[in-house]
Structure 1
Amino acid sequence: MRTTTNPPIRSLLSSTPAASAKPGKAAPARHPAYRQIGRGRGMTTDDVVTKTAAVLASTVASTVVTLQVGSWVPVTVALPVALGLAVYLTFRPRDSAVLALLYAVAQGVVLGTTTRVSETVAPGVAMQAVIATISVFVVVLAVYKLRLVRLTTRRVKWFIVVLVGFLLTVLVDVLLGSVVGVDLGLRDIGVMGVLFSLLSICLAAFSFLLSFAAADRMIRDGVPASWAWYLAFGLVMTLVWLYTEILWLLTSARL
């Protein structure tokens, strides 16, 4: 039964440990989820690393420029662009370098504005958030490489259920706050806000595991190298999510 239209996640849901290629045997045929996504040279680990570095560098550069400019005008344009591209690429995956880099630049503007506000309230918190984000990423990568957590089909499905519930809760909170002025307290400086932020951090960390597994699977399935841009978009989007949550948590702790 199909549970998602996202090719990497669909691939993970339909794969089993026994499906992995064994030494000395022919490489597995392209997974059905990728039959219609194009042709070309097969993706390699280097493709994923270089494309992710390019998207991340664009995000960082945009963030730094925004911090230097100090204007509120760019974020009014960048925020809807970043959100729109994030939603579009999540549900309609594309192997587009242009869309991935455009998202990176727009998201960098949003990050720069958010960071500037946090630094005004709690000086030095941005660097702490960067260090914490890198630390979480490295730990999750080590956990994946050492196979300390096994990504079973059931776990992936449960993660999708929890993530959808989380996103719906955020959407309801935004709608209630903007339409009827009701605040669920998800971003209050208190127990509820801290617990919600910790849940977000845990979901972001697990998302990294799915991204790593999807990258391995796509490489094994012989997916065209251009789809490394899509993986790069996903990894950077999760990094941004993780950084934003850690930044909020550290800033609220200083208030």
Structure 2
Amino acid sequence: MSNFAFNNPAFQQQDPRNAATYPGAPQQAAPQAGTYAPPPAPTAAQAAAVNANLEGMYAAPSAGAIETDRMTVEDTIWKTVGLFAVLLATAVVGWVWTASTARVDASGNLTADLTPWIVGALGGFVLAMVVTFTSRKKVRPALIFGYAAFEGLFIGAISAWFETIWPGIVMQASLATFAVVGVTLALFASGKIRASAKMTKIVMIAMLGYLVFSVLNLILMWTNVLPAGQMFGLYSAKIAGIPIGLIIGILVVFMAAYSLVMDFDQIQQGVRNGAPRKYGWLGGFGIMVTVVWLYVEILRMIAILRGNN
């Protein structure tokens, strides 16, 4: 089990005895029965032509993703950059929309138009589910771009809301997110960290537990079961003077960082499997899902820390 965005045979380790099951997977020709007859020895002219052809192939530039129509790490990186460019563009819209409607009343409470927040969150969730459950049959880049646009709207709105309450928090969360992503990528590229079956099971169990906790927290907040003044619900509760949200936040950052390791590992597996080039969009989609989750968790953790001072 891993990032649901990579729930596709193209990113799974293939059994060499079986053909891959994703669309466009390279197939191995079945051996034919019969006697083997060695080919005739080439003539001098034929040998010279073969050597000239080989020299031309060595001199030519290496075939890229476009020429081979196969997934590569470099092509996946460019696709990921394009998706984040869309996210940033719509994040500006969400930011301006929310910031322009933010007001602080006489009691010090912040009010703002939450339309971009709600629309972005719901739209992103729906498209994420559609992309995930339909990617086994067909990869649809348009839906992935739509997901990036909705997520940008959500990220811009929630960032503007937090920034109004705690000025400078968005810069702090952004730098922390870049640091976690950069360090994780550097360690993975150097071969110092890799995803293991045992650690993956532990992290996935922890992620499921965290999901249950988050859903329970939302239910308690919506039903007004928790005492007033706890902006983040159970996250605002304290143990020995330390907010639970801060403790959980540190664990969640670790889980998100390890999820990035799994994302990078499965992208490499997709390249080794010879997946079609279009599957690079799924790779970019999976990385975006993890990075957005990481940013939101860091944003909340910093908000709890600053609100506690």
* Category of TM-score, reference length = shorter chain: 0.7 to 0.9
CA shift digits 1:17-40 (9 cap, x unpaired): xx9xxxxxxxx96986x5233468
Q: Of 14, 36, 43, which residue of structure 1 is paired with 2:22?
A: 36
Structure 1 residue 193 displacement after superposition: 1.1
Structure 1 residue 45 displacement after superposition: 1.4
Structure 1 residue 132 displacement after superposition: 1.0
* CA distance in structure 2 between the aligned counterparts of 1:7 and 1:236, rounded to whole angstroms: 10
* CA distance in structure 2 between the aligned counterparts of 1:6 and 1:235, rounded to whole angstroms: 11
* CA distance in structure 2 between the aligned counterparts of 1:246 and 1:59, rounded to whole angstroms: 18
SS in 1 for 2:234: coil
Gaps in structure 2 of 5+ consecutive residues: 26-67, 102-112
> Quick one: higher RCO (CA 8 Å, sep 6+), 1 or 2?
1
Q: Of 150, 161, 175, which residue of structure 1 is paired with 2:219?
A: 175
Structure 1 residue 42 displacement after superposition: 1.3
SS in 1 for 2:195: coil
**Residue identity (%):** 26
Structure number with the higher helix fraction is 1
Structure (1 or 2) with the larger CA radius of gyration: 2
Q: Of 232, 237, 246, which residue of structure 2 is paired with 1:194?
A: 246
Structure 1 residue 249 displacement after superposition: 1.7
- C-alpha RMSD over aligned residues: 3.0
CA shift digits 1:75-102 (9 cap, x unpaired): 3322211122234434554522111111
Q: TM-score, normalised by structure 1?
A: 0.82
Q: Of 202, 205, 227, which residue of structure 2 is paired with 1:158?
A: 202
> What amino acid maps onto 2:145 in structure 1?
L
1:231 counterpart residue number: 283
* CA distance in structure 2 between the aligned counterparts of 1:139 and 1:192, rounded to whole angstroms: 26
SS in 2 for 1:147: coil
1:86 counterpart residue number: 128
Q: Of 229, 249, 253, which residue of structure 1 is paired with 2:301?
A: 249
Query: In 1, are the aligned partners of 2:70 and 2:276 still within 8 Å (CA)?
Result: yes
Q: Describe the shift of the 1:90–1:182 C-alpha distance in structure 2 as closer, same or farther (beyond 3 A).
A: farther
Describe how 1:18-33 pairs up with structure 2 within 5 A: none
Aligned residues: 241
Q: Describe the shift of the 1:92–1:4 C-alpha distance in structure 2 as closer, same or farther (beyond 3 A).
A: farther
> What amino acid maps onto 1:37 in structure 2?
P
Structure 1 residue 10 displacement after superposition: 7.2
1:24 counterpart residue number: none
Describe how 1:41-80 pairs up with structure 2 within 5 A: 41-70=69-98, 72=113, 73-80=115-122
Structure 1 residue 146 displacement after superposition: 1.8
